[in-house]
Structure 1
Amino acid sequence: MNRWRNIGAVLVALVALVGACMRTPEEPPAQASEQRIAGCAPAPGNRDAVAALLAASPACPGNVLEFRARLEREPAKVATAFVDNRGFHNAAAGSFSLFESVTGIVAGVRVAPGDFFFGHFTEKRGAAWVLQQTPEDDALLIELIAWDPAKGLFNFYELRGNGARGRWFYRGDSADILRDIAQLHRQDDPARPAFGQRLRCSGCHLGGGPILKELAAPHNDWWTSARPLPLPALPPEPALARILAQGLVDAGELAARVRQGSAKLESSAAFRAARKERSRQERLRPLFCPEEMNLGSDSAPSDAPSDIAPPSAFFVDPRLGSRELVTSRAGYDAALRALASAFPESGRADADHAWLAPVKAAADVGAVAKLVEERAVDEELVADVLAVDMGNPALSGARCGLLRLVPEDAQGWRAAFVRALAGSNDPAARELHANLTDPARDARWHRAQAASMLEACARRLRAGDVAPYVELLAQRRAEVSANAIATNPRGQILEPGFRIVFPDVLPGPRPGALELTRACTVVRR
């Protein structure tokens, strides 16, 4: 038993991006962009490493072990990362994800870092810790994302059970995801959201590429070389033990590859062309609204005796300003007790890292940077928009609601937008109208406002006035599940039921009840 614990302590971990959103059990209806790969023939037209490997395989891999064995015969390297799906301190459940990134040459296709990821999962079964590879009908055995150099897009695949062995499916590509989320934040009836049915991955990979919620250090709930995950007090089956013994990679390496894959997609001429085919509101959506989400936190584990450093991005968008913030751990812990905070299943008061909070997704920031590069918007407009509801940088419904006022006119759209804002009684519209029309409210002015707000936050946090912010933190966590990015019935970014990310509090927060002002005070609406 101790031998397996020692092996775990030297392993390096990877949790991937491929889209645990695809874990919902039902298989979606067949679409033109979603084809079963019969007899391991590649999906027509695909030139990615997965399609090439399957086409070159004399026998179709039926599970992750056969697939990995096929990869091991290639001049390629597989790096494995590791995450506890139920929280850092809940190893007893045996629910972990292994997501593997591939580099090198695969069936003649050159695979760069960030091009190819696949994921699979573990569970507790009786007195053993095993890979989830039993091919029950429609059971998800592997999920994969691979860069197609011919398309200039990512392709998404799944291996699912049919009762006897695995069946391969091509689900669609990055451009299909853009089509699936066309109405995101633009629903005619938000109570009955409409999404395309091309591929399940659209529920999580809204940016069309690889994702990792815990993209920034300390990579909460991930195996890192400095903080290995606790392992179940169960012997791993031989197949799982072999994978672990090959060594894991630090979550930071996975994060670097996710960033590389995302940057490659954003720079792709084909993907940029696909975006330009969408409406202006869709193209500008990452500026006004979230398409994805990342998590930020204190860098030290919750068990550490040191003071807490809340992520600055919780208070203000980093594009407007950032600074170091510090508050009392004793005050933070007291605020958790007042909220009856409890992490499900483990009985702890908080996640493994304090102040685990939704922050603006790096993919959304990258998408906006490309809009600036293409001169679809300029930095002044970006700052004007981000300054609206400044104290809610990641999930602002007020700022997001302004997207519907963006006109589709090809010529003079900015002037038409200003007119639309002027004709609205919405306070957020009036604020953006002032930002766009008052020469004094330039990007420098907005950054000065952000700096002043962060200074006020720093003073209040240093003074121990932490309870209102922890209550707001609980609300922001609840607002992720209430946001449009979590309304796709085929997948949600927090993967409820599969992942446990945040602690629960009592009573449950009401989204939108609290607001953070520019004086960094928490007020009730």
Structure 2
Amino acid sequence: MRLWRNVCVALLVLVAACARMPEDAPAQVSELKPAGCVTQGPANAAANHDAVAALLAASSECPSNVLEFRGRLEREPAKVATAFVDNRGFHNGVAGSFSLFESVTGVVAGVPVAPGDFFFGHFTDKRGTELVLAQTPEDKALLIELIAWDPAKGLFNFYELRGDGTRGQWFYRGDSADILRDIAPLHRQDDPEHPVFGQRLRCSGCHLGGGPIMKELEAPHNDWWTMARPLPLAGLTPEPALARILGQGLGDAERLAMRVRQGNARLEASVAFRAARKGRTRQERLRPLFCPEEMNLASDAMPNEARAAVKAPSAFFVDPRLASRELVVSRPSYDAALRALKSAFPESGQPDGDHAWLGPVKAAADVAAVAALVREHAVDEEFVADVLAVDMGNPALSSARCGLLRLVPEDAHGWVAAFVRALAASKEPAARELHANLTEPARHAAWHRAQAAAMLEACSRRLQAGEITPYVELLAQRRAEVFANEISKNPRGQILEPGFRVIFPDVTPEPRPGALTLTRDCTIVRP
């Protein structure tokens, strides 16, 4: 769901589900209880035991918009905390496109709700100079999207409130296990040029890990409202209902990020979810190690307006599980690179977004999934390091490393030896590199970490040497590679929400995915 459009809401916030697109799949109808709401969706909706299902079942009148829904929550011993993000960039409030992502704690209709258990998202429009809640119930209009922990299932359930032309109608879309089924072919397609995905729920386009998402999970939470830097509204005045929401519980984006982490930690600890994941193929289980499933964004900590030296996130260059360090770039060098590439942020025309060096990094959910594999003894830390070291200069989006996933065998016994044989038989450079990593005793995890640290040292020297245009060009390419990656090919939703979110500046010429590569001595290689 777009709730995890950034939370695909994903934003990347809750990260960030996806695009504001209609839900066209046919739906069955399942009554929660005769006196309550009727929720359309899978036939097992009545078996849900989450706070949303309980609240709707206990409602004598079905909430038809976000104000009625929040009003029902306010009668419960529960608290609602609100986070606020500008969908069109920090300095483009005049567009009037904001999202509110709200998290609920306490007790809702008798269901205990811990931090990270219950989120819902909704959106704004502008009417003249007034900023208003987007709650007009046009046909198929998305009014609210919700994700709620089901203590009986041990999974998250996903819901939507959509307009039918007259009022809002509730839909139950599916749960975390349904998402695992929907993304089963991801990076394992029979025809990669024409990928297919499951059709259980739209939320699978963004919440590929099965839980809440926030693309901008780590500080400084680019484009989000923070206590230190409230979002400018560019002269727009919130309507009274919106002003009341913002005045009641608006908080720092870090609070939302913390609750997203808590929600995903609960999912990772769930016996039911672990069992659902173990029931998938070995390639599916190992996929977060070799390939991206979700995506986070990282940037310089200081806003561009501070005019301080730029600190590029080292996770852009090397996976933090191997090495990390501070990478400093002079502000004049960074500005010169933006000018050389004709960088311009859409709509605002500024040369960059709110924070410098905003780009994709490995998702926290993917890292957590790999850590779970290690805890379950599916792989060990040495195997993880061997894989991460392949195409080391592309830690989040390496197509070469991801392509090796298809060589992983499904045999239950001796699969590592069979994998090594498959790598040996391949002519791909990445396969030869991983074969050497797995078979040469000197290439142990400590060796890989030393190699990664040396690479970051080389990057530090080169970035401080002055001419950084090729590296900013690579940054622009990595952004383009997210849109080109298979995680952005689901027709029912994409994690960066093109058309709805504006996140990155444009450069000229337009980047070509895969054109530039970064070597271990931190040089840029052109085709």
Q: TM-score, normalised by structure 2?
A: 0.95
Contact 2:31 2:37 in 1 (8 A): no
CA distance in 1, matches of 2:159, 2:57: 14
Partner of 2:42: none
Partner of 1:354: 356
Partner of 1:227: 229
Partner of 1:91: 93
Percent identity of paired positions between Structure 1 and Structure 2: 77
Q: Which amino acid aligns with 2:300?
A: D
Partner of 2:21: 25
Partner of 1:247: 249
Tell me, what secondary structure is at the counterpart of 2:208? coil
The answer to whether the aligner puts 1:509 opposite 2:511 as a matched pair is: yes
Partner of 1:131: 133
Aligned-pair distance for 1:306?
1.2
Aligned-pair distance for 1:464?
1.7
Aligned-pair distance for 1:238?
1.4
Partner of 1:300: 302
Contact 1:115 1:147 in 2 (8 A): yes
Contact 2:18 2:497 in 1 (8 A): no
Q: CA, structure 1 residues 474+417, in 2 after alignment: closer, same or farther (shift >3 Å)?
A: same
Contact 1:35 1:171 in 2 (8 A): no
Contact 2:32 2:53 in 1 (8 A): no
| Alignment equivalent of 1:40, drawn from 37, 41, 64 | 37
| Alignment equivalent of 1:103, drawn from 102, 105, 123 | 105
CA distance in 1, matches of 2:514, 2:446: 29
The answer to whether the aligner puts 1:324 opposite 2:326 as a matched pair is: yes
Structure 1 segment 148-167 matched on structure 2, within 5 A: 148-167=150-169
CA distance in 1, matches of 2:8, 2:81: 14
CA distance in 2, matches of 1:331, 1:270: 51
Q: Which moved more, 1:22-31 or 1:412-421?
A: 22-31
Partner of 1:395: 397
Contact 1:23 1:140 in 2 (8 A): no
Partner of 2:186: 184
| Alignment equivalent of 1:82, drawn from 77, 81, 84 | 84
CA distance in 2, matches of 1:22, 1:386: 28
CA distance in 2, matches of 1:242, 1:226: 21
Tell me, what secondary structure is at the counterpart of 1:508? coil
Tell me, what secondary structure is at the counterpart of 1:469? helix
The answer to whether the aligner puts 1:411 opposite 2:413 as a matched pair is: yes
Where has structure 1 moved over 6 Å in runs of 4 or more? none
Aligned-pair distance for 1:23?
4.1
Q: Aligned residues, how many?
A: 511
Contact 2:18 2:494 in 1 (8 A): no
Structure 1 segment 86-485 matched on structure 2, within 5 A: 86-485=88-487
CA distance in 2, matches of 1:488, 1:56: 36
CA distance in 2, matches of 1:473, 1:154: 34
Aligned residues: CA RMSD: 1.5
CA distance in 2, matches of 1:303, 1:485: 33
Partner of 2:13: none
Contact 1:37 1:170 in 2 (8 A): no
Aligned-pair distance for 1:498?
0.3
Contact 2:351 2:505 in 1 (8 A): yes
Contact 1:134 1:161 in 2 (8 A): yes
Aligned-pair distance for 1:235?
2.2
Q: Which amino acid aligns with 1:286?
A: P
Partner of 2:58: 56
Gaps of at least 5 residues in structure 2 are 11-15, 40-44
Q: Which amino acid aligns with 1:137?
A: D
CA distance in 2, matches of 1:439, 1:15: 42
User: 1:330-381, CA deviations, whole angstroms, 9 ceiling, x for partnerless residues?
Assistant: 1111101111111000010111000001000000000000000000000000
Q: CA, structure 1 residues 139+127, in 2 after alignment: closer, same or farther (shift >3 Å)?
A: same
Aligned-pair distance for 1:29?
1.3
Aligned-pair distance for 1:127?
3.4
Contact 2:292 2:396 in 1 (8 A): yes
CA distance in 1, matches of 2:397, 2:466: 26
| Alignment equivalent of 1:496, drawn from 482, 491, 498 | 498
Contact 2:211 2:267 in 1 (8 A): yes
Q: Which amino acid aligns with 2:17?
A: C
CA distance in 2, matches of 1:385, 1:231: 46
Aligned-pair distance for 1:17?
5.8
Q: Which amino acid aligns with 1:459?
A: R
Aligned-pair distance for 1:22?
4.7
CA distance in 2, matches of 1:86, 1:489: 22
CA distance in 2, matches of 1:281, 1:302: 42
Aligned-pair distance for 1:30?
2.8
Tell me, what secondary structure is at the counterpart of 1:44? helix
Q: CA, structure 1 residues 390+504, in 2 after alignment: closer, same or farther (shift >3 Å)?
A: same
CA distance in 2, matches of 1:455, 1:435: 22
Q: Which amino acid aligns with 1:25?
A: M
CA distance in 2, matches of 1:244, 1:48: 26
Tell me, what secondary structure is at the counterpart of 1:197? coil
CA distance in 2, matches of 1:93, 1:18: 19
Aligned-pair distance for 1:143?
0.2
CA distance in 2, matches of 1:426, 1:383: 19
User: 1:178-207, CA deviations, whole angstroms, 9 ceiling, x for partnerless residues?
Assistant: 000000011111121100000000000000
Contact 1:18 1:145 in 2 (8 A): no
Q: CA, structure 1 residues 36+142, in 2 after alignment: closer, same or farther (shift >3 Å)?
A: farther
Q: Which amino acid aligns with 2:21?
A: P
Aligned-pair distance for 1:244?
1.3
Aligned-pair distance for 1:37?
6.4
Aligned-pair distance for 1:310?
0.1
Q: Which amino acid aligns with 2:213?
A: I
CA distance in 1, matches of 2:30, 2:216: 31
Tell me, what secondary structure is at the counterpart of 2:315? helix
Contact 1:327 1:461 in 2 (8 A): yes
Contact 1:287 1:385 in 2 (8 A): yes
User: 1:7-52, CA deviations, whole angstroms, 9 ceiling, x for partnerless residues?
Assistant: xxxxxxx9746457254332231367x9686951562210000000
Aligned-pair distance for 1:86?
0.2
Gaps of at least 5 residues in structure 1 are 1-13
Contact 1:103 1:111 in 2 (8 A): yes
Q: Which amino acid aligns with 2:263?
A: G
CA distance in 2, matches of 1:456, 1:194: 41
Q: Which amino acid aligns with 2:248?
A: Q
Tell me, what secondary structure is at the counterpart of 1:21? coil
Contact 1:307 1:327 in 2 (8 A): yes
Partner of 1:11: none
User: 1:198-243, CA deviations, whole angstroms, 9 ceiling, x for partnerless residues?
Assistant: 0000000000000000000000000000111101412221111111
Aligned-pair distance for 1:66?
0.2
